Structure 1
Amino acid sequence: MTISIQTNDFDVNVELQALRAGCADPGKIGAIASFIGLARDLNDGDVVNTLELEHYPGMTEKALSKIEADARARWPLLNVRIIHRIGTLLPQAQIVLVLVASSHRAAAFAACEFIMDTLKTTAPFWKKEQTAQGTRWVEAKASDEAATARWRSVGSNAAPEQKGS
Structure 2
Amino acid sequence: MRFTETKLQGVWLIEPTPVIDDRGSFTRLFCEKEMADCGLATRFVQHSRSHSVKRGTLRGLHYQEDPYGEVKLVSCVRGAIFDVVVDLRPNSPTRHSWMGFELTPENMKQVYIPAGFAHGFQTLTNDAEVAYLISQFYTPHASTGVHYNDPALSINWPLLPTAMSERDMNWPLLKKLVS
TM norm. shorter chain > 0.5: no
* TM-score for both structures, normalised by structure 1: 0.33
Higher relative helix content: 1
* TM-score for both structures, normalised by structure 2: 0.31
